[in-house]
């Protein structure tokens, strides 16, 4: 059985669905602070918090857990700058709690939801796994701390791990069962879709003076279902090779904020107000991945490579959610 910590969230729920589809037994461990109970449609559910070791132990006693996938992290870069204590406590200390309980129960396999933020401002594009790791915000620093802890836990305790360094997760389940629903919402694509749907008065662009082609940040968008597929392949790699490793997960190409906004206008056939605002602290100008290593070792490659197709699945999910229930949880997106 696979424990999915944070499996009621955006990426974890998509991984849970794919694992179930492939015949794996799963248990989602989530405190539902940011996750959604209605997203846990597969496997078992254990309502618990990683800050409480006894709750984690009860879950391990109740279920025959053989591997852990860890998604339970706060992920707002700006908030991490304003309140680093919150991020280090949740993203680092609580991860230690989970790892220590794994040691107690002899569980040796760990898939870690990491981030391209561990690289900081890139020295070269595209970014490969051997790029220096110099994060520029507490969110990225906390993820790097966990990666380094995992190296030590591998050497000392034999816990094998794979770090999956996401670039910008996007899109939604093409079957329309789950999608991206944060509160507060800070991600560009769902915010712009909400503006197109009339749920927001405007969408803000943070910074138009970056050294990029149109002055706005450039990001590498990877479909959430491709991320889910990479987690399954990472688990298979870990079980078969017994080797710890790190992999970038992205599409290998970048799109600016302004380009994303225009694509959403085109897909939605609706106009909406765009406001230019100051830069946010901790935002590098450009982040584009190389996923060659994941291709070589995990035999993984993104199936959704067209940005319009990625955004199209997000648009369909948001439209379906609103038309299905005007009072659905999280209906009102927040800037």
Please state the domain extents for the chain.
2-170+221-249
At the top level of CATH, which class does the domain 2-170+221-249 belong to? alpha beta
pLDDT of residue 283: 82
The encoded tokens of residue 87 equal 């991020």
pLDDT of residue 281: 76
pLDDT of residue 39: 96
Alpha helices in the chain (DSSP H): 10-21, 53-62, 77-82, 84-87, 94-105, 138-157, 188-196, 224-241, 257-268, 292-293, 307-324
Burial of 297 per CB tally in 10 Å (0-12, 13-18, 19+): middle
Long-range contacts for 140-143 (Cβ within 8 Å, ≥24 apart)?
140/77, 140/115, 140/282, 142/73, 142/80, 142/87, 142/88, 142/91, 142/92, 143/73, 143/91, 143/114, 143/115, 143/117, 143/118
The pTM of the full predicted model, rounded to 2 decimals, is 0.92
pLDDT of residue 334: 27
Active site residues: 139
Helical pair 224-241 and 10-21, crossing angle rounded to 10 deg: 60
pLDDT of residue 158: 97
Task: Give the residues of the chain that fall short of pLDDT 70.
Answer: 325-335
State whether residue 149 is helix, strand or coil. Answer: helix
């Amino acid at each position: 059985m696979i424990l999915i910590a944070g499996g009621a969230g955006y990426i974890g729920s998509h991984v849970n669905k794919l694992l179930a589809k492939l015949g794996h037994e799963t248990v989602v461990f989530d405190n539902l602070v940011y996750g959604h109970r209605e997203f846990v449609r597969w496997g078992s559910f254990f309502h618990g918090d990683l800050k409480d070791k006894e709750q984690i132990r009860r879950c391990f006693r109740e279920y025959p857990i053989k591997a852990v996938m860890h998604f339970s992290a706060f992920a707002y870069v700006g908030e991490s700058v304003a309140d680093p204590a919150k991020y280090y406590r949740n993203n680092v200390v609580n991860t230690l709690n989970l790892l220590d309980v794994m040691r107690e129960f002899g569980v040796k396999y760990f898939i870690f939801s990491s981030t391209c933020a561990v690289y900081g401002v890139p020295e070269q594009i595209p970014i490969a796994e051997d790029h220096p790791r110099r994060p520029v915000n507490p969110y990225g620093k906390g993820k790097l701390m966990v990666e380094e802890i995992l190296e030590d836990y591998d050497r000392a305790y034999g816990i094998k791990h794979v770090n999956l360094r996401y670039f910008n997760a996007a899109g939604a389940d093409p079957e329309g069962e789950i999608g991206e629903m944060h509160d507060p919402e800070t991600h560009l694509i769902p915010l712009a879709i909400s503006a197109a749907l009339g749920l927001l008065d405007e969408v803000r662009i943070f910074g138009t003076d970056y050294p990029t082609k149109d002055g706005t940040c450039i990001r590498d968008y990877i479909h959430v279902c491709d991320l889910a597929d990479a987690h399954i392949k990472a688990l298979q790699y870990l079980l078969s090779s017994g080797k710890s490793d790190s992999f970038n997960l992205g599409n290998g190409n970048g799109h600016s904020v302004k380009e994303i906004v225009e694509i959403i206008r085109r897909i939605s056939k609706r106009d909406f107000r765009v406001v230019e605002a100051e830069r946010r602290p901790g935002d590098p100008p450009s982040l584009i991945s190389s996923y060659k290593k994941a291709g070589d070792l995990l035999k993984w490659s993104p199936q959704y490579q067209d940005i319009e197709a990625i955004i199209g699945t997000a648009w369909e999910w948001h439209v379906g959610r609103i038309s299905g229930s005007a009072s659905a949880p999280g209906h009102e997106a927040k800037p």
